[in-house]
Structure formats: structure tokens, C-alpha cells
A and B are shown apart, each in its own frame.
Chain A
Amino acid sequence: KQEVTQIPAALSVPEGENLVLNCSFTDSAIYNLQWFRQDPGKGLTSLLLIQSSQREQTSGRLNASLDKSSGRSTLYIAASQPGDSATYLCAVRPSGYSTLTFGKGTMLLVSP
């Protein structure tokens, strides 16, 4: 059974710092991996989708990498802003399955 772990569970940084959020998964046979952002009391917003054949994806200040063989993905946020404060969730889609397995998330607080 696929398990997804996100470390740290919470992170607090001052504005302007570059930061990395980590995601690890137990079964490397994945179809793709998706990073989401969730604001308090809100739904999930899709940030980036990485296919298993890709090494990274970029969107603005966000860069997600994937190392399938080691079962790891990172989300890099450059020049963090208070508006980046949210919970970031990593979700893995195992090969042959349509469904996503989610990590518990990393709660990020960027202080001005």
C-alpha cells in the first residue's frame, strides 16, 4: 500500500527566504505526482503536476522535482511571501490507478 509522508509538518520562515518542502512515498511505481495548496477553510488548489517520466516542473516561483527511484519529491518556493502561507499537500497517483494518495501536508507560515 502506498504511503506518503511530508516533512516537516510545520514550517515558519521570514519573508524573502527560499524554502523546500519534502515529500516521500514508499512505492516508486507511480504514474504522476501532484502538489496542492490549501488555505484555511478552503478547498485544494492544484499547483504542479509531474509525470513519472519528468524530473521537474516549474510555475512562477514554484519548482517541483521528482526522484522516482528514491521515492522523493520536493517543492521549492523562491523568495517566499506572506501570501504563500498555507498548507501544502503532496499526492501520488500509483501506476495503474486513477486515485491519489495524499500526505498529511506541511503547514507553512511566512511572516512579514
Chain B
Amino acid sequence: DAGVIQSPRHEVTEMGQEVTLRCKPISGHNSLFWYRQTMMRGLELLIYFNNNVPIDDSGMPEDRFSAKMPNASFSTLKIQPSEPRDSAVYFCASSAEEYNEQFFGPGTRLTVL
């Protein structure tokens, strides 16, 4: 079975540009999570969806960040406009149910110049 799929794996962009990160959860999983990992702050939850509905977006840093889940097999995380401090590794994870074991994708390494 394919695990969680994320694209792109690496993204380098200039400050002010729009960035879109993509995630395909494991088939049949109902919950999807977006995390950000930095050296300083470790892993932090940005937002999570249950049955395609955003449940908790309290971790989204500011209005520049937005996330969507138009269907059960696809989610996007958009940053517009991007800033150098957004540079991090962004992970997507999914689980069969909200409280179950989470499975992570390989991550997208974002560098904003």
C-alpha cells in the first residue's frame, strides 16, 4: 500500500511568492494533519481535518496560511505571500480515525529566500 504522498519534496521560492504544498492521505483514512518542523520549535500542528472538514486550525500562524481538503484523497496547504521565516519542513499525516495511530508523509522542505 502506498503511504502518505506529498509533493513537491523540495521547494525553493522567493519572498512574496505563493507556495502550494500537496498531500494525498492513505486511502480510507478519515483524518488528515498538517505539521511544520523547525530546529527551534520542533514539530507543530498547523491544522487538521476530519472527514474533509477543518476541525482545529489554531496552529496556523497567520492569515497568510490556508488549507483545504476538497475531497478525501487530496489536501493543500497554501502560503501567500511567503516569507523567509516560513522556511521549514512541512509534513502531512493521516490516520484511520481521529484518535488512531498517525502515519506521516516524507515531507516538503520549503526554503524561502
Contacts and interface: CB of A to CB of B under 8 A. Distances in A.
Interface residues of B, number: 23
A8 to B, nearest CB: 15
B16 to A, nearest CB: 27
A44 B37 CA distance: 11
Contact of A32 (B48, B99, B103): B99
Interface stretch (B61-69, B70-78, B79-87, B104-112): B104-112
B54 to A, nearest CB: 12
Interface of A: 31-32, 34, 36, 41-46, 49, 89, 91, 93, 98-100, 102-105
Nearest to A31: B99
Contacts, number: 46
Task: Summarize A's interface: helix, strand, loop or mixed.
Answer: strand
A99 B104 contact: no
Nearest to B101: A49
Interface of B: 4, 31, 33, 42-45, 48, 50, 55-56, 91, 93, 98-99, 101-107, 109
Contact of B48 (A36, A45, A98): A98
Name the residue among B45, B91, B109 with the largest chain A CB count within 10 angstroms.
B45
Contacts of B105: 43
Contact of A103 (B42, B55, B102, B107): B42
Contact of B99 (A91, A98, A105): A98
